[in-house]
Structure 1
């Protein structure tokens, strides 16, 4: 069956149900987790996130006032702890200009928000899109590895890196912010079930479908 991007989302939602992504208690937690997950596995990122939660409760003020050595110690389980601790600190210092208010950030930057996020230390394309979707409530497609693998199975060719999919995949106006958040969650949960370690896509409910971008 041929599907457009919204039909793909609807089919995944019908077959898998809501994921509730991003599972977190606050947007500050999402910010930190989006940085911690870079270049590591979920288990290591979760260990670091738990230590940050226990020490700071993800309070903006506590995060920016934490001594750098202590922040590095908490972040260490996620790897690249010097870079990630500095990224967390510098992000919240930047965020402080707007009173840690996500909608003030959106109002200030408008359509230039993504390009300005990319100027921040440690914020690359994938992290910027996660932050747009889950922190700043801007429906954005996250072209992560699971998405690229899934879309390759659905007939989209030459998806060699993040931008190779991001450049050609945009969410239409029919996607609400909740839809965009769920879509990313569904893709990642699908990936964990069918694409992780050994590829079992042929056993999935999407086998035989073709995506039209």
Structure 2
């Protein structure tokens, strides 16, 4: 069956139920974990996140006051500790400079917000889109590896890297809400964990035989 993007989302939601992603208590926790999850496993990111919580309770004022070496040790389980520690401190300072007010940030930067995020140390395209989706409540699409794998299985061509899908899909159209965009990202990642290890397991899924029409 050929599905529109919204039909795909609805079918996944019906079959899998809500995932309530991102599983965090505060936006500060999401910002930190969006950095920690880069190029590592969820298990390692969660371990580092827990260490940061125990030390700072995700309080950005406490985080920016930490010695760099201390922050690096807390981040160590997630790998790339120097780069991630610097990124977490940079984002923490930036968010504090804006009084940790996500709505005010959206009003200030408008359509330039993604470019602004990309200018911050350690924020690449995927992390920027995660932040737009979960911190700034904008219905963006996160073109991560699971999304590219899923769309490829559904017949979308030439999805070779993040940019290749971003060019085709970045802002989710109506009737998607920002809550839908958060849930859609969670559904795709949970689907990927279940059916893409190995990718041949997709044939056993409830989407086997479907195709996706992006345009």
When normalised by structure 1's length, the TM-score is 0.98
For 1:134 and 1:63, the matched residues in 2 are separated by: 21
**Aligned-residue RMSD, C-alpha:** 0.8
Shift of 1:64: 1.1
Are 2:207 and 1:203 aligned? no
Shift of 1:199: 3.0
Give the gaps of 5 or more residues in structure 1.
none
Q: Within 5 Å, which residues of 2 pair with 1:30-41? A: 30-41=30-41
Shift of 1:163: 0.8
Shift of 1:198: 5.1
- Give the conservation status (yes or no) of the 8 Å contact 2:35–2:88: yes
- What is residue 66 of structure 2 aligned with on the other side? 66
Q: Within 5 Å, which residues of 2 pair with 1:104-115? A: 104-115=104-115
Number of paired residues? 213
Q: Which runs of 4+ in 1 moved over 6 A?
A: none
- What is residue 193 of structure 2 aligned with on the other side? 192
Are 2:4 and 1:4 aligned? yes
For 2:73 and 2:60, the matched residues in 1 are separated by: 18
Give the gaps of 5 or more residues in structure 2.
none
- What is residue 174 of structure 2 aligned with on the other side? 173
- What is residue 89 of structure 1 aligned with on the other side? 89
- What is residue 131 of structure 1 aligned with on the other side? 131
Shift of 1:150: 0.4
Partner-residue secondary structure (3-state), 2:187: helix
Shift of 1:95: 1.3
Q: Within 5 Å, which residues of 2 pair with 1:36-47? A: 36-47=36-47
For 1:77 and 1:24, the matched residues in 2 are separated by: 19
For 1:74 and 1:129, the matched residues in 2 are separated by: 25
For 1:196 and 1:165, the matched residues in 2 are separated by: 21
Q: Within 5 Å, which residues of 2 pair with 1:39-58? A: 39-58=39-58
Partner-residue secondary structure (3-state), 2:175: coil
For 1:101 and 1:66, the matched residues in 2 are separated by: 22
